[in-house]
């Protein structure tokens, strides 16, 4: 809600001049008005530029841990390896909620009470052919992909895969592959468990809590 600034004043008699405010008081008032205006702009622009979320599970461990608080931006093209937050209703559950006026307003404000929101890593881009062999080696268009963000000894997948990512969709996986509900678990679903670009809320770019983990997550 935008802050409201109320300017108080009174009647001034015709035979007296109003007392002039001291420069210090006027400067202090202008400073407060500037702060309140900046906060109002931030509140209005926040849903368009970024949102904040709390990580609920260990599916992205060791990159993200339960309780981590992250900042998600809504600008830019996604690349392989990006961490994304998305609505999983259509991709994983084949549910298509009615996006009426109230739902669209909620989207604008970042309020999604009845939707399943996940955080995962982009593995396959639209149109790419993704395979995982029986040895757990990941290949994209026949090129082996290294995944330094996985914990030592963790395979790309223990389930062999062969899929071409549909246009306008992304194939996603959690970094904690043995404990992640992701695109691999929904291969038989519409879209092969891949996530529509329209369902991506944004890219995870910053962790602001806990203090020990404060910083960018782009290169993790």
29 domain-assigned: no
pLDDT at 42: 53
Nearest-angstrom CA–CA distance, 220 and 216 = 8
- Name the domain count of the chain: 1
Residues noted as catalytic: 59, 120
104 domain-assigned: yes
Q: What is the pLDDT of residues 138-188, one digit of tens each?
A: 999 999 999 999 999 999 999 899 999 999 999 999 999 999 999 999 988
140 domain-assigned: yes
The CATH number of the domain where 108 resides is what? 2.10.109.10
Q: What is the pLDDT of residues 33-67, one digit of tens each?
A: 877 766 665 555 555 578 899 999 999 999 999 99
17 domain-assigned: no
Residue 77's CB: how many other CB atoms inside 10 A?
8
Question: Which domain does 152 fall in, by range?
Answer: 50-216
Q: What is the pLDDT of residues 98-138, one digit of tens each?
A: 545 444 444 444 444 446 899 999 999 999 999 999 999 99
157 domain-assigned: yes
Quick one: angle between helices 101-109 and 23-49, nearest 10? Answer: 120
pLDDT > 90 in the chain, percent? 54
194 domain-assigned: yes
pLDDT at 98: 52
Determine if the pTM surpasses 0.75.
no
């Amino acid at each position: 809600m935008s802050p409201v600034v109320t300017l108080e004043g009174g009647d001034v008699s015709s035979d007296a001049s109003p007392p002039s405010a001291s420069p210090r008081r006027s400067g202090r008032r202008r400073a407060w008005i500037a702060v309140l205006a900046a906060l109002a702009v931030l509140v209005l622009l926040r849903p368009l530029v970024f949102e904040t979320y709390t990580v609920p599970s260990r599916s992205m461990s060791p990159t993200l841990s339960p309780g981590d608080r992250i900042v998600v931006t809504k600008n830019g093209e996604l690349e392989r390896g990006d961490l994304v937050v998305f609505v999983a209703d259509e991709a994983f559950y084949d549910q298509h909620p009615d996006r009426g006026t109230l739902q669209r307003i909620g989207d604008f404000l970042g309020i999604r009470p009845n939707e399943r929101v996940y955080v995962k890593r982009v593995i396959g881009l639209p149109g790419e052919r993704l395979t995982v062999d029986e040895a757990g080696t990941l290949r994209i268009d026949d090129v082996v992909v290294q995944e330094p963000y996985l914990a030592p000894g963790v395979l790309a997948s223990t389930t062999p895969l062969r899929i071409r990512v549909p246009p306008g969709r992304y194939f996603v996986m959690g970094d904690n592959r043995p404990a992640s509900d992701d695109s691999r678990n929904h291969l038989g679903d519409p879209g092969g468990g891949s996530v529509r670009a329209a369902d991506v809320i944004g890219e995870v770019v910053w962790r602001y809590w806990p203090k020990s983990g404060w910083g960018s997550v782009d290169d993790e």
